[in-house]
Structure 1
């Protein structure tokens, strides 16, 4: 397949995240891929070697929520970088101000995952409220014939659902839960005048008027621990929290205390503050549903992400506008 830069040597791309075989093949068909994981080198040595190459990389592919940040340290190590393509929608792992200062353009995953994350969030709401996973464990442990019927869950239809972050994902969650007859309200940076849902500027007020609180916002200085002890108390003892945003959107220690003390009814968590490490207390709670940050991943979304990432890289190397540019400050 022809290089996006035309005839000659394919452009170099810094790959700073794990990818599956089809993804790796798609990248290598078009670019000279400098792969951190396959190099076996420590990060500083790998970056130094990349920067010293005769044709150093001008683009990097990075992973949301990973340990490698796209910040001044990365750009100092590889000064040739002029484009960062993130395989996540959120950009909390990218120093956007530093990118703007250095003339580095940024692309994210856009809406590639939005429907998958919305599906997962709704599945978690159903699972926690109807106790699906907990009841399944009850059957597998052989407890049904011994202890009798499993305790009742709560219906989902008609519940009041508060959504924190009504962007692409939050809007799709709202649309899905509307089909259950749920009453939707939300908190976001600004009210969405075109939507029929009730807007709350204050998250505590939103929680107080909700049976279920779904977190689907980006992580930044304003949304770190946006769900803390006061919000959980406002949600109340019958309330459920579902987080498909970022782990640090929720004060995990406060959440554990609220669950332990029965101040809320349950939680569904796909993201965690210290992931992949998860609190032992959360793992032991029957009223908590846990998944390993997989809301974004389906066979279809993985394929779509591969195509989307390649298309953004092609656009950059061809001098065309990025498909999903991130606005820089």
Structure 2
């Protein structure tokens, strides 16, 4: 008899077909609540979800045979880890499977905001390019020689740093602790990093402990020529403070792939010309998706074979 899995969000169709080869698959669910559980949920042994959805004590308690929560991506912020630990429920995620894809997208957002690529596109489409004078739009500082501050030098942050080296940027970072294996400038506070940096990239794992870590003070420290890029989670940035900073010139611009209340995006953000907005797609490259799926399958195979998870999360 195949083990029963519950898919909370709808996963890619081809991946669903692969899962069904070895497992009985239920879902997706309209909401991640006990009331939305499908028929047969009492047999569920593994829950497939994403970090932005709530996997709380009530949902886990409604699944009496649940032994594994497996997150499709790297995020785990929606999982009640204390309850999972108390119940003896294992937790797995995608590890660094999508790190390369997310890092390259972060560089795309960095270029888009710092070099004003979307504004340039709109400039051409509006018919404002009238001749071949050297100065068509106001010049911008560029990236070479500028300081890139990375908040969270993990699997994604370290890849961003290596790519930024190719743009001849000076690199600094803030982590919970200094990384002896990395040659970059360490800052012992996020505020200090922002004060030093010209561009601040948020790549820290977001949870309750760093909610609104990027606040009005951090944005002020980044300064009127500074840019913010966020490919982590929207919760890490105080969105009201960011809107105010962009509206008043406290910072020059931002590139955002994540938002505080997804999929809702603030009308204040959408009204601004100095922010680039994308729909949480940093990990949406074919290679990143394939790697995430292989990691989830590996976690499931290992778990049901009684072996350690491929990508476990400590509880």
2:287 aligns with 300
Q: Is the 8 A contact 1:48 1:77 kept in 2?
A: no
1:319 aligns with 306
2:159 and 2:33 mapped to 1: Cα distance?
A: 38
Q: Is the 8 A contact 1:87 1:305 kept in 2?
A: yes
Q: Which runs of 5+ in 2 are unaligned?
A: none
2:31 and 2:85 mapped to 1: Cα distance?
A: 29
Q: Is the 8 A contact 1:92 1:219 kept in 2?
A: yes
1:112 aligns with 2:104: no
Structure 1 residue ranges (4+ consecutive) displaced by more than 6 angstroms after TM superposition: none
3-state SS of paired residue (1:144): coil
1:81 aligns with 66
RMSD: 1.8
In the superposition, the TM-score normalised over structure 1's length comes to: 0.91
Q: Is the 8 A contact 1:36 1:43 kept in 2?
A: no
> 38, 44, 51: which is aligned to 2:34?
44
> 217, 221, 225: which is aligned to 2:212?
225
1:159 aligns with 2:151: no
1:51 and 1:170 mapped to 2: Cα distance?
A: 38
1:246 aligns with 233
2:301 and 2:127 mapped to 1: Cα distance?
A: 55
In the superposition, the TM-score normalised over structure 2's length comes to: 0.95
Q: Is the 8 A contact 2:34 2:59 kept in 1?
A: no
3-state SS of paired residue (2:276): strand
Q: Which runs of 5+ in 1 are unaligned?
A: 1-8
1:191 and 1:88 mapped to 2: Cα distance?
A: 26
1:3 aligns with none
> 39, 46, 60: which is aligned to 1:59?
46
What is the deviation of 1:41? Answer: 9.2
What is the deviation of 1:222? Answer: 2.5
3-state SS of paired residue (1:110): coil
Q: Is the 8 A contact 1:48 1:78 kept in 2?
A: no
In the TM superposition, 1:194-205 aligns within 5 A as 194-205=181-192
Q: Is the 8 A contact 1:11 1:57 kept in 2?
A: yes
What is the deviation of 1:143? Answer: 2.0
1:125 aligns with 2:110: yes
Q: Is the 8 A contact 1:47 1:78 kept in 2?
A: no
3-state SS of paired residue (2:37): helix
